[in-house]
Amino acid sequence: MSGKGICIDGLKKRYGAGDTAVDALKHVDMRVGPGEVVGLIGPSGSGKSTLLKCLGAVIDPSAGRMVLGDEVIYDNGWKVRDLRALRRDKIGFVFQAPYLIPFLDVTDNVALLPMLAGVSNGESRAKALELLSALDVQHRARAMPSQLSGGEQQRVSIARGLVNRPPVILADEPTAPLDSERALAVIRILNEMARKFQTAIIVVTHDEKIIPTFKRIYHIRDGVTQEESGEGRGFG
Amino acid sequence: MISLAGRDILHAWGKFAFTGLGLGLLIGVTLTMAGVYRGMVDDGKALLDNSGADLWVVQKDTLGPYAESSSVNDDVYRTILAMPGIARAANVTYLTMQVRGHDNDVRSMVVGIAPGKAGTTPGWPPYLVAGRQITRGHYEAVADIATGFKLGDRIAIRRNHYTVVGLTRRMVSASGDPMVFIPLKDAQEAQFLKDNDAIWQSRRRTEASPALNRPGVPGLLDAVIASQSTNPFVNAVLVTLKPGYEAEEVAASIRRWKRLTVYTRAQMEAILIGKLIATSARQIGMFLAILAVVSAAIVAFIIYTLTMDKIREIAVLKLIGTRNRTIAAMIMQQALALGIIGFVVGKISATFAAPLFPKYVLLMPVDSVASFGAVLLICVLASVVAIRIALGVDPAEAIGG
């Protein structure tokens, strides 16, 4: 595994203290290389969301080590100072619901991230349009989110996650509201984008129809991950 | 960087427009209330300006003639005229009453003006918008245009009828009642005129009094009856000064030698504004304070609601790296935009509504500027609650779980 992608060693997360302490993550090891899409699967309460929040630099782990791209972001109590900038520049998010900003059109929904990073409006919109073209929604560039279909909204959401070229994208149930055909199309797009932009993508899912598409899967149960890999999996 | 607040406003312009309209009407009421107070002050100043006087000589130890009743003998002005520094002195009477027109009656201040001419004799209306000044000793009137009377109208004051020969403008009492000017003698009569039955009974009583109807004193009864049916009093003497004389010095001289109370222009203005309309001003001040609090509450509630509607979007914005100050600025800009929309609507509505009020409403630019500042301040303060909520949103809410 190269220094890119995501690398997690012995990650732990404990909520509370003393007798009421709950170990949401007991021991998590993960490796996702650049250009790779892996699935993260587990029952409710297994720690998926907690892991996603730790990876997304939204909550602090209790112990362990996390490396995003070539930057250590957490190491047994030490963490990077500017988590907001880390989320903006190093992590892309794709949600179960697209959560597009309803008062921005498609282009500005995608262009907002580079704008937040200080890129000029013109350059940000050019980047957005390039990605929208790659995701085949450029014809909806001036539309408002409410005017898009569910599949189009999710593609715009993926474009938003990719626009700052983060080394990692975290996708939280991205196919849940979609039918089989559209769900498989979204996974296909994620695979294409991972390859094209050399992004490591973790897809949290319950969706049985897309699980067979992953080359590698991490199962999480009671806060512990276990890797499963198999030949013949996925689009690759 | 694009304006998130601007985009949100454009996206939900209908909500903002109607909210701004509602807020604007509230601000319009606030501006109009301030205008009512300013109008009262201006009415008071207009009353003093239009009287053309430098000094007001009134009954001793009274605040007359506008704030309290005052009664001064009508020959006092002659002795005042003889004092150093006095250019002119003229009697004047004021009587607030219902003046009957052709088919209606109007609450007016009837002003009795001494013989003379406009521009020189204090108390006269300084200018006319139609007709001419009073030229006869009796039964002519000049009315403020706000009375609704027209040239040639016949109006009734007590038992006498007057012909409106001139119309003037902005001649009002301190309470905003339009003035009707009539000759002094008629006004003195109107102030003390009794009905025929009362006069007849008074004469009968006088005739029946052995002290006043003495067989050996011819003419006594007639003299007493004549004194009972005439009025030798006026409410005040209006005085103008010769150039180079200080008002306070001349006033002190009149007080000392005539045993009367004298007010300068500044003192009379203080009486009108500080005493006559002070209660009304406090009343209006209370209304203004309540309206400001209500406006603040409405803006706070609206901004709070708009922010709560966007909690998920705010969580997403925070998750993708939006600075707290960008989110706070978005909310504050929306609050300010709402305030600006409201102020514009309020200013326009107050401007169009002001002339419709029965009394003078004076919308002063300084009040508008102060109101604009207050609205912006209220909006900033009102957005604080919403900003606190927005900044407290956990970006993890966007991830769920």
With beta carbons less than 8 A apart as the criterion, state whether A183 and A210 touch.
yes
With beta carbons less than 8 A apart as the criterion, state whether B220 and B214 touch.
yes
Mind giving me the DSSP string for B166-191?
EEESS-B-TTSPBEEEEEHHHHHHHH
Residues A112, B2: C-beta atoms closer than 8 Å:
yes
Q: Does A13 touch chain B (CB under 8 A)?
A: no
Report the range of poorest mean pLDDT among B77-81, B173-177, B243-247.
B173-177
pLDDT value of position B313? 87
- Distance, in Å, from the CA atom of A106 to the CA atom of A124, rounded to the nearest integer, reads 13
Q: Among candidates A23, A22, A32, which has minimal Cα distance to A55? A: A32
Report the range of poorest mean pLDDT among B184-198, B234-248, B370-384.
B184-198
pLDDT value of position A235? 47
Residues B396, A53: C-beta atoms closer than 8 Å:
yes
pLDDT value of position B329? 93
pLDDT value of position B229? 74
Residues B7, A113: C-beta atoms closer than 8 Å:
no
The residue of chain A with its CA nearest to that of B320 is A88
- Distance, in Å, from the CA atom of A89 to the CA atom of A83, rounded to the nearest integer, reads 10
Angular region, A222: left φ>0, alpha ψ -120 to 50, beta rest = left
H/E stretch holding A14: strand A6-15
When pLDDT is averaged across residues B59-68 and rounded to a whole number, the result is: 90
- Distance, in Å, from the CA atom of B260 to the CA atom of B55, rounded to the nearest integer, reads 12
pLDDT band at A1 (very low <50, low <70, confident <90, very high): very low
- Whether residue A2 is predicted with pLDDT greater than 90 in this model: the reply is no
pLDDT band at B249 (very low <50, low <70, confident <90, very high): very high
H/E stretch holding A79: strand A78-79
Residue B358 burial (10 A CB sphere; 0-12, 13-18, 19+)? exposed
When pLDDT is averaged across residues B266-285 and rounded to a whole number, the result is: 86
pLDDT value of position A175? 84
**Interval A160-171: pLDDT, tens:** 988 888 889 999
Please list every residue in chain B whose beta carbon sits closer than 8 Å to the beta carbon of residue A50.
401
- Whether residue B119 is predicted with pLDDT greater than 50 in this model: the reply is yes
* Tally of CB atoms within 10 A around B143: 31
- Distance, in Å, from the CA atom of B96 to the CA atom of B77, rounded to the nearest integer, reads 23
- Distance, in Å, from the CA atom of B68 to the CA atom of A115, rounded to the nearest integer, reads 71
User: Residue B112 forms beta bridges with which residues?
Assistant: B93, B182
Mean pLDDT, chain B, integer: 90
- Distance, in Å, from the CA atom of B164 to the CA atom of B150, rounded to the nearest integer, reads 7
Please list every residue in chain B whose beta carbon sits closer than 8 Å to the beta carbon of residue A147.
none
The residue of chain B with its CA nearest to that of A121 is B1
Percent of chain B with pLDDT over 90: 49
Residues B321, A84: C-beta atoms closer than 8 Å:
yes
pLDDT value of position B333? 92
Query: Could you tell me how many CB contacts below 8 A there are between chain A and chain B?
Result: 80
Amino acid B150 reads: K
Amino acid B110 reads: V
- Whether residue B147 is predicted with pLDDT greater than 90 in this model: the reply is yes
Please list every residue in chain B whose beta carbon sits closer than 8 Å to the beta carbon of residue A56.
319, 396, 399
Q: Does A109 touch chain B (CB under 8 A)?
A: no
Mean pLDDT, chain A, integer: 87
Give residue limits of the domains in chain A.
6-229
pLDDT value of position A229? 72
Q: Does A48 touch chain B (CB under 8 A)?
A: yes
pLDDT value of position B356? 92
**What residue has token string 């009108």?**
B272
- Distance, in Å, from the CA atom of A110 to the CA atom of A131, rounded to the nearest integer, reads 9
Report the range of poorest mean pLDDT among A77-81, A226-230, B199-203, B205-209.
A226-230
pLDDT value of position B28? 92
A119 phi/psi in degrees, rounded to 5 = -75, 145
pLDDT band at B400 (very low <50, low <70, confident <90, very high): low
Enter the CATH code of domain A6-229. Answer: 3.40.50.300
Please give, rounded to a whole number of angstroms, the shortest distance from the CA of A1 to a CA of chain B: 27
**Interval B200-245: pLDDT, tens:** 888 889 889 888 888 888 888 888 888 877 778 999 999 999 999 9
pLDDT value of position A99? 86
With beta carbons less than 8 A apart as the criterion, state whether B130 and B142 touch.
no
Which residues 280-339 of B have a C-beta within 8 angstroms of A?
A: 312-313, 316-323, 326
Closest in A58, A96, A113 to B396, CB measured: A58
pLDDT band at A233 (very low <50, low <70, confident <90, very high): low
When pLDDT is averaged across residues B350-358 and rounded to a whole number, the result is: 92
pLDDT value of position B168? 95
pLDDT value of position A231? 53
Residues B401, A88: C-beta atoms closer than 8 Å:
no
Q: Which of the 8 DSSP states describes residue A33?
A: -
Longest dimension (CA), chain B: 119
Q: Does A53 touch chain B (CB under 8 A)?
A: yes
Closest in A96, A101, A116 to B321, CB measured: A116
The 3-state DSSP class for residue A186 equals helix
pLDDT value of position B164? 96
